[in-house]
Amino acid sequence: MNETENPWQTLNSSVKYDNPWLAIRHEEVLTPAGTPGIYGVVSFKNKAIGIVPIDADGNTYLVGQYRYPLNEYSWEIPEGGCPIGTDPLDSARRELREETGLEAKTWTKIARIHTSNSATDEEGFLYIAEDLVQGNHEPEETEDLKIWKLPLSEAVEMAMTSRITDALSVSGLLMVARLRGL
């Protein structure tokens, strides 16, 4: 089989739930084996953006908040949404400023990822932000954020020991660790 050929056939698709952030589709399909089946797809209306800010002393900044769907507190890299059709780097700049008050002079895109490709179409982009300048953070009304400045190596260890479980954060921190030889 050619890896670019889609072995699935969609017979019918209907939106079962829709809000400003996502839609859930129910699809009747023919599976790669040719048998009838169903698939549920969560389709996001934003791309996911994650930023690993690194200051001149090798520190990074995590953002802490209570995550409603998980019913638990979560430490994460600064992250947010990028409306479809918007430049991901522009969204990364905005999210870093909103969540931490930081602005960066140097940006490096390190990855494009899919956060949970068995059930969603969510696409994410990860960046390193450097040459940081501190300003005031401007969280959205739904965010009650805590900001934690810590050594990058400590944040990487948190990802390695599952103290950080957010997919964008784990991916971003481990990629930076590999790039920096940590």
Q: Return the domain boundaries, the chain.
A: 9-44, 46-180
State the pLDDT at residue 181: 87
- pLDDT averaged over the chain? 93
**Per-residue pLDDT tens digits for 133-149:** 988 776 666 667 899 99
State the pLDDT at residue 54: 98
Q: Shortest CA distance to 27 belongs to which of 41, 7, 43, 17?
A: 41
Query: Is domain 46-180 annotated with CATH 3.90.79.10?
Result: yes
**Per-residue pLDDT tens digits for 101-117:** 999 999 999 999 998 88
